[in-house]
Amino acid sequence: MEFFASFTSIKLRSHLCKYLLANDDRQTVRQTTKASAEGAIWSVEFVEGKIGAIRLQSCHGRYLSATDLNFLLGATGKKVTLQTKYENLGAPWSVEWEPVRDGDRVKLMSWCGTFLRGNGVTPPWRNSVTHDEPRFSSTKGWILWDVEAVDETPKYCLLMSRRTWSMSNSSDEFSASGKSSPATPKSVRRSSTFQLKSCSANNLRSAMDFFRNAKTVRLRSHHDKYLVADNDEESVNQDRSGSSKTARWSVEFASGASSDSIIRLKSCYGKYLTASNQPFLLGMTGRKVLQTLPRRLDSSVEWEPVREGSQVKLKTRYGNFLRANGGLPPWRNSVTHDIPSRTATQDWILWDIDVVEIQVQSANHKAATIEHMDSLDFNPGSPPSASGKSSNYPRLESTDSTVSLPPKSEGRTIYYHVADESGDVDEDTVEGSSFMFKGNGVEELTHKMEEETGIKGIIVCTRNPLNGNLYPLRLQLPPNNATMHVVAVPESSKLGKDFEKQRLL
């Protein structure tokens, strides 16, 4: 918004170095190389009650509008036209645009999540302007615009800047004619019609709206393949077929005051989509995404949806994104979590959301919110399939009867990190793990951690609260099954050898 906050009138220049122009027919727009054209100047209006939304008014007094009309039959682009405010009493959101900063340029997002695009190549696309989602790397720059301030504001822009288009007044006038004022539509995936729905226009800003009332969803990647749970009940990958039950994921919402934007995704096998700390390939940045049923629901199974137009990115707690890989094996059809470092792979973290089933709430029954108990309070000795079955789709059931939960398992929770060969631990960025432990001895804990980590010959260490240094754990474990935070240091590491030299072992 900083591009528009200080200006009453601007010019928008596309990647083709052409300016957005309002044609003399007062209905259409196109691109022109003539920066001095009067129609290339647009007056900026801020939408009342909506932070981050603007309208652009042409020299003819008409507003830049994202319509629902196809630019060409069979093509994805929709027409961008000029409309007056009186033409938009039933759909005022069509003339509202949300600036999204991209470096030193902006993208203008429409009401349905598409972006204002300056087209190129051969006619009829040449010099045309549509709103669309670029699907190819070569057209990603077509939705980027440079904003140029107009030094001398024309008189018509000064007049327009004094006007305000009050949405509430327009609604009152519309209601006075004997018709009710329709609400602003909720943005849905690839919405293509002006459907009047009873929700606020501000709902268009949140990625959680893709999941808010969803019971089960499918996630479709940039490669037009679906995220599927492998039948080994451990790995995940991509597949063309979205009809299989393995492509369906149950949506759960994390509980807690700071979890309004956090979800979990559970496979048909009752296991959670998990961002593990295991590298997918040695020497590569991507880490494995698995199906797991942890004893405790930690941050590794939590995902934060981030909206990107009409698609979403799923972010882990430490800033990585769920990524659908392409290319040659072993990357082909694999799924990792990573941060794309190349422009060609930026789209690999974008997902289309298909809502398969919706969550219906009646007046008498409300959908139960998911609690940590559904995967934490189970008997560790029971088979995984039984525990998965008992907790499958827990939030979708609603009953008046009393549900008896299994007794809490005895033992303590051990949170741990694994030090590298130098003995360093990056606890701020590397996600830790946890397990339940029954016992009080250090030797028992050491053997258990060797099983959990798969590393033979480790030293269980704790951090001194005074100086933050690591020291080997030598005494009995704290009483009353108190939770512990430890670090597994390999004996072969530099720090492990230092402990041996200092005779701390």
pLDDT tens string 124-139: 888 999 998 887 777 8
Instruction: Grade residue 430 by pLDDT with cuts at 50, 70 and 90.
Output: low
Angstrom distance (rounded) from CA 348 to CA 220: 11
The pLDDT of residue 2 is: 64
Are the beta carbons of 394 and 367 closer than 8 angstroms?
A: no
Q: Is 306 a residue whose pLDDT tops 80?
A: yes
CATH 1.10.3720.10 fits 206-358, yes or no: no
CATH architecture of 412-501: Roll (3.10)
Give the chain's mean pLDDT: 76
Domains 9-176 and 412-501 share a fold: no
Q: Is 45 a residue whose pLDDT tops 60?
A: yes
The pLDDT of residue 154 is: 54
Are the beta carbons of 280 and 337 closer than 8 angstroms?
A: no
* High-pLDDT (> 70) share of the chain, %: 73
Q: Which of 16-20, 191-195, 298-302, 339-343 has the lowest mean pLDDT?
A: 191-195
Distances, alpha carbon 177 to alpha carbons 82, 84, 113, 173, 458, in Å? 25, 19, 31, 7, 78
* Tokens (6 digits) for 249: 């994921």
Most trustworthy range by pLDDT among 43-47, 211-215, 426-430? 43-47
Left (φ > 0), alpha (ψ -120 to 50) or beta: where does 148 sit?
beta
Q: Is 12 a residue whose pLDDT tops 50?
A: yes
The pLDDT of residue 449 is: 86
Q: Is 170 a residue whose pLDDT tops 80?
A: no
Q: Are β-strands 311-315 and 263-266 bridged in parallel, bridged antiparallel, or unpaired?
A: unpaired
Instruction: Grade residue 377 by pLDDT with cuts at 50, 70 and 90.
Output: very low
Q: Which of 187-191, 444-448, 476-480 has the lowest mean pLDDT?
A: 187-191
Instruction: Grade residue 476 by pLDDT with cuts at 50, 70 and 90.
Output: confident
**CB < 8 Å & 24+ apart, contacts of 392-397:** 392/250, 392/266, 392/270, 393/250, 393/266, 394/252, 394/368, 394/370, 395/252, 395/253, 395/367, 395/368, 395/369, 395/370, 396/215, 396/250, 396/359, 396/367, 397/368
Strands (DSSP E) contained in 254-372 are 263-266, 272-279, 287-292, 304-308, 311-315, 321-324, 335-338, 352-358
Each residue of 64-91: pLDDT tens digit? 999 988 888 877 789 999 988 666 555 6
The pLDDT of residue 130 is: 94
The pLDDT of residue 182 is: 37
Angstrom distance (rounded) from CA 46 to CA 43: 10
Tell me whether residue 258 is exposed, middle or buried, using C-beta atoms within 10 angstroms of its C-beta: 0 to 12, 13 to 18, 19 or more: exposed
Q: Which of 117-121, 236-240, 264-268, 450-454 has the lowest mean pLDDT?
A: 450-454
List 82's β-bridge partners, or say none: 64
Which top CATH class is 9-176? Answer: mainly beta
Who wins on pLDDT, 191 or 432? 432
95-114: average pLDDT: 88
* Tokens (6 digits) for 412: 């303590």
Are the beta carbons of 436 and 458 closer than 8 angstroms?
A: no
Instruction: Grade residue 164 by pLDDT with cuts at 50, 70 and 90.
Output: very low
**Residue ranges per domain, the chain?**
9-176, 206-358, 412-501
The pLDDT of residue 392 is: 39
Each residue of 347-373: pLDDT tens digit? 889 999 988 888 765 444 444 444 444
* Tokens (6 digits) for 356: 């398969």
Who wins on pLDDT, 7 or 158? 7
Q: Is 153 a residue whose pLDDT tops 70?
A: no
The pLDDT of residue 408 is: 45
Instruction: Grade residue 181 by pLDDT with cuts at 50, 70 and 90.
Output: very low
The pLDDT of residue 256 is: 64
The pLDDT of residue 232 is: 92
The 3-state DSSP class for residue 386 equals helix
Q: Is 380 a residue whose pLDDT tops 60?
A: no
Q: What is the pTM of this model?
A: 0.39
231-246: average pLDDT: 90
Are the beta carbons of 19 and 30 closer than 8 angstroms?
A: no
Who wins on pLDDT, 471 or 271? 271
Are the beta carbons of 142 and 120 closer than 8 angstroms?
A: yes
Who wins on pLDDT, 448 or 403? 448
The pLDDT of residue 87 is: 62
7-20: average pLDDT: 89
